[in-house]
Amino acid sequence: ETGVTQSPTHLIKTRGQQVTLRCSSQSGHNTVSWYQQALGQGPQFIFQYYREEENGRGNFPPRFSGLQFPNYSSELNVNALELDDSALYLCASSPGGQAKLFFGSGTQLSVL
Amino acid sequence: AQRVTQPEKLLSVFKGAPVELKCNYSYSGSPELFWYVQYSRQRLQLLLRHISRESIKGFTADLNKGETSFHLKKPFAQEEDSAMYYCALSGGSNYKLTFGKGTLLTVNP
What is the predicted pLDDT for the residue at A1? 55
DSSP designation for A59: S
Exposure of A55 in the CB half-sphere (CA atoms within 13 A): 18
Helices of type H across A1-112: none
Flag whether pLDDT at B56 surpasses 80.
Answer: yes
Looking only at Cα atoms, what is the longest distance across chain B? 44
Å between B32 CA and nearest CA of chain A: 8
Cβ of A42 within 8 Å of Cβ of B102? The answer is: yes
The residue in chain A having the minimum alpha-carbon distance to the alpha carbon of residue B104 is A40
pLDDT of res. A90: 97
Q: What is the pLDDT of residue B1?
A: 80
pLDDT at B71: 97
Q: Are B43 and A106 an interchain contact pair (Cβ–Cβ within 8 Å)?
A: yes
Asked whether B105 and B13 are in contact (CB, 8 A), the reply is yes
Confidence of residue B31 (pLDDT cuts 50, 70, 90): confident
Whether A103 has its CB under 8 Å from any CB of chain B: the answer is yes
pLDDT at residue B12 tops 90? yes
Instruction: Say if CB A54 and CB A66 are below 8 A apart.
Output: yes
pLDDT for residue A96: 73
Calculate how close chain B gets to A51, using CA atoms only, in Å. Answer: 13
Q: Enumerate the residues of chain B whose CB falls inside 8 A of the CB of residue A45.
A: 96-98
CA distances from residue A58 to A35, B24, B51, B99 in whole angstroms, order as listed: 9, 21, 25, 13
Residue A51's pLDDT is 87
Residues sharing a CB contact under 8 Å with residue A111, sequence separation 6 or more, in sequence order: A13, A14, A15, A17, A81, A82, A83, A84, A85, A86
Q: Does A2 touch chain B (CB under 8 A)?
A: no
- The answer to whether the bond into A8 is cis (omega within 30° of 0) is yes
- What is the pLDDT at residue A97? 67
DSSP letter assigned to residue A60:
-
A100: amino acid identity, one letter:
K
Q: Is B97 in contact with A44 (Cβ distance < 8 A)?
A: no
- Extract the runs of DSSP E, i.e. beta strands, from chain B: 3-5, 10-14, 19-21, 24-26, 32-38, 45-49, 60-61, 72-74, 83-90, 97-99, 103-108
Cβ A33 vs Cβ A99: under 8 Å: no
Q: Residue ranges of chain A with pLDDT lower than 50?
A: none
Q: B105: distance to nearest CA of chain A, Å?
A: 14
**Residue B52: band (very low, low, confident or very high) from pLDDT cuts 50, 70, 90:** confident
**Closest Cα of chain A to B79: distance in Å?**
23
CA distances, A104 to each of A16, A25, A101 (Å): 27, 9, 10
Do the chains contact at A99 and B43, CB–CB below 8 Å?
Answer: no
**Per-residue pLDDT at A9:** 96
Work out the average pLDDT over B8-12: 97
Count of Cβ atoms closer than 10 Å to residue A97 Cβ: 11
Is the pLDDT confidence value at B57 over 80? yes
**Measured between alpha carbons, how far is B91 from B76 in angstroms, rounded to an integer?**
32
- The answer to whether A104 and B42 are in contact (CB under 8 A) is no
- Strand, coil or helix: what is A22? strand
